[in-house]
Amino acid sequence: MNRIIVIFCIVLSLSSCTSKFQKILKNKDTDYKVKMAEQYFKEKKYTNAQQLFESVIPFVKGTARYEELYLKFANSYYLDKDYENSENLFKTFIEYFPSSPKREEVEYLRANTYFKRSPKAELDQTTTNRTIQLMQAFIDAYPKSARVKEATDVIDACRAKLELKDYKTATLYYNLALYRSAAISYGLLSDGYPDSKNADQYKLLTIKAYFKFAENSFVDKQKERFEKVIVEYNDFVDRYSDSPLVAEAKKIKTQTDHLLNSIK
């Protein structure tokens, strides 16, 4: 019985709050609604704040408060983690108020909405690529901004995710015995991320994949394909002569030399 009473009280309380908010929403006094919108915003009741801001925006357009309230409207979605709607509103803010002193902040937040929506590495990375584009544009536009380091860190995180995605794709090819595709993918990784701590590993994996591709080829194709392994090995030594993986690469080269001699 006590549980039923508690539930009834909660439902009654929620109903009362809803009824109160609806009265505010229907109120004709714009100043009052603005005040309540800002109060809800301060209390982090973003859904209520959004509805009120949306209802008053048409009535404050052209006034001194228009820019301030529009930004709070956009921020209410951002803080509510509705990044798609906040991105649209930030973009519109920049179009409406191109000379705003808040433009730098808004451009950063807009770029960050894409980062917030960036999915795990296995999924489509359109938003990750868009993040990099917008963050780089932000850095170019505001090179002295205090947010440049944050923007750079975001770009680095995005590039790391793209690198991981490409690595997983290449490894999937290798595990499926699609060695030529794996070799090309690992090669693109090595070339595309030359400053990566794993760049030498990607090059070694390129050699391994080309070796497997040659080893599993028809006899009349093997000579040409084993020669490709030697080419990749030589490139590895040129680039990563100090790598701890050189010894492993040499083993593959020795094995390749032996097989090439047997083909001749």
pLDDT digits (tens, 9 = 90+) for 109-137: 999 999 999 999 999 999 999 999 999 99
Same domain, yes or no, for 186 and 240?
yes
- The contacts of residue 41 (CB under 8 Å, 6+ apart) are 49, 53, 72, 75, 76
Same domain, yes or no, for 134 and 211?
no
pLDDT at position 4 over 80: no
Residue ending a domain, choose from 114, 132, 165: 165
* Cα(192)–Cα(199) distance, integer angstroms: 9
Angle of helix 126-141 relative to helix 148-175, nearest 10 degrees, comes to: 150
Same domain, yes or no, for 146 and 206?
no
* Cα(109)–Cα(103) distance, integer angstroms: 10
Same domain, yes or no, for 136 and 200?
no
Mean pLDDT confidence for 90-110: 98
Do 73 and 89 touch, CB atoms closer than 8 A? yes
**134-185 residue pLDDT tens:** 999 999 999 999 999 999 999 999 999 999 999 999 999 999 999 999 999 9
Q: Does residue 19 lie in a domain region? A: no
Structural domains in the chain (count): 3
Q: Does residue 12 lie in a domain region? A: no
Same domain, yes or no, for 181 and 264?
yes
Q: pTM of this prediction?
A: 0.86
pLDDT at position 14 over 80: no
Q: Does residue 186 lie in a domain region? A: yes
Same domain, yes or no, for 187 and 249?
yes
Q: Does residue 89 lie in a domain region? A: yes
**30-68 residue pLDDT tens:** 999 999 999 999 999 999 999 999 999 999 999 999 999
Range of the domain at 123: 101-165
